[in-house]
């Protein structure tokens, strides 16, 4: 516990400098249409090239920054990096596919959140419909009118909203009635267990179907094998994000794919 507290303190005190000196790196993991493997977009994922601690995965530092609210700075940094990058894609004439970014639920307590997102996107001249905000399913549990209002404002601004890690344990489809999202990302664990037996297939298949009826695009996360990909397609899922197709990759590699694929 002491080691964890020490790490937290070291990372926190170094964060501002790290942001200024661009120690963070954005990786892109393609999302694909399972039928032919073609790219439909990507998720931007953060990594930290820490001068003393090496290459850190978000699982190491995001939970620490969630505790003290600093995660909001990190999320906004990543969002702006993505906007800058999309600007260069449009200048270079690359095909423009949507990119999603993760946002902590803590942003929903900030009254200027939607205005800031809008300001950043507009500063880099990125069409809002190409930007997708991923928010974990646990927001569905909060009895908050604020979240519904923020979703509504984002929707009016034409941003896309994805419910991330759906099925990881907290919410049920019933809760989706209240919040309208554009995309439902089925959690990795749900995907791996869900294709095991007949009963699991019925449950996952119905979730996919219902989400579709509610007007959401369903993306299965964590597809790692061809067998999973085939089964998921059989039960009605069209899109996925997972190691079987692509791992998260550096920008230059994602750009090569964008150009090659089209």
Residue ranges in 159-198 that form contacts with ligand G under rule CB under 6 A? 164-165, 188
Check binding of 15 to ligand G (CB under 6 A): no
CA-CA-CA-CA dihedral for 191, 183, 136, 133, to nearest 10: 140
Q: In this complex, which beta carbon is closest to ligand G, that of residue 231 or of residue 241?
A: 241
Shortest Cβ distance from residue 170 to ligand G (Å)? 13
Check binding of 55 to ligand G (CB under 6 A): no
Shortest Cβ distance from residue 92 to ligand G (Å)? 26
Residue whose structure tokens are 């099925």:
167
Tell me which residue of 186, 199, 179 sits closest to 237, measured CA to CA.
186
Residue ranges of alpha helices (H) inside the chain are 2-20, 58-68, 71-92, 113-123, 145-156, 188-194, 198-213, 226-234, 251-261
Q: In this complex, which beta carbon is closest to ligand G, that of residue 87 or of residue 238?
A: 238
- Interface residue with ligand G among 222, 232, 235, 258 (CB under 6 A) is 222
Shortest Cβ distance from residue 28 to Mn ion (Å)? 12
- Interface residue with Mn ion among 134, 137, 182, 187 (CB under 5 A) is 134
CA-CA-CA-CA dihedral for 61, 225, 182, 29, to nearest 10: 50
How many H helices and E strands in the chain? 9, 10
Check binding of 164 to Mn ion (CB under 5 A): yes
Q: In this complex, which beta carbon is closest to ligand G, that of residue 87 or of residue 106?
A: 106
- Interface residue with ligand G among 48, 62, 86, 102 (CB under 6 A) is 102
> How far, in Å, CA of 89 to CA of 16, rounded?
28
Q: Are 108 and 144 in contact (CB under 8 A)?
A: yes
Check binding of 242 to ligand G (CB under 6 A): yes
Tokens of 132: 């997708």
Angle, helix 113-123 to helix 145-156, in steps of 10 degrees: 20
Judged by CB under 6 A, which stretch of 5-13, 71-79, 106-114, 240-248 contacts ligand G? 240-248
Query: Contact positions toward Mn ion, by CB under 5 A?
Result: 102, 134, 164
Query: Contact positions toward ligand G, by CB under 6 A?
Result: 29, 45, 102, 164-165, 188, 221-224, 241-243, 248
């Amino acid at each position: 516990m002491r080691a964890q507290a020490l790490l937290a303190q070291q990372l926190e005190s170094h964060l501002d400098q790290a942001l200024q000196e661009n120690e963070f790196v954005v990786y892109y993991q393609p999302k694909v249409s399972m039928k032919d493997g073609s790219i439909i977009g990507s998720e931007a994922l953060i990594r930290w090239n820490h001068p003393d601690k090496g290459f850190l995965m978000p699982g190491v530092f995001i939970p620490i920054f969630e505790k003290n609210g600093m995660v909001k700075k990190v999320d906004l940094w990543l969002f702006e990096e993505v906007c800058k990058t999309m600007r260069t894609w449009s200048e270079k004439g690359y095909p423009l596919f949507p990119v999603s970014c993760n946002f902590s639920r803590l942003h929903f307590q900030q009254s200027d959140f939607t205005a800031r997102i809008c300001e950043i996107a507009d500063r880099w001249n990125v069409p809002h419909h190409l930007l997708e905000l991923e928010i974990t399913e646990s927001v569905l549990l909060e009895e908050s009118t604020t979240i519904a209002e923020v979703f509504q404002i984002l929707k009016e601004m034409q941003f896309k909203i994805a419910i991330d890690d759906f099925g990881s344990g907290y919410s049920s489809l019933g809760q989706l009635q209240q919040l309208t999202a554009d995309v439902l990302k089925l959690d990795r664990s749900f995907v791996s267990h869900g294709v095991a037996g007949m009963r699991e297939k019925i449950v996952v298949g119905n979730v996919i179907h219902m989400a579709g009826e509610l007007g959401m695009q369903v993306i299965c996360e964590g597809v790692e094998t061809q067998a999973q990909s085939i089964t998921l397609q059989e039960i009605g899922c069209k899109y996925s994000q997972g190691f079987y197709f692509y791992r998260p990759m550096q920008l230059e590699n994602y750009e090569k794919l964008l150009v090659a694929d089209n």
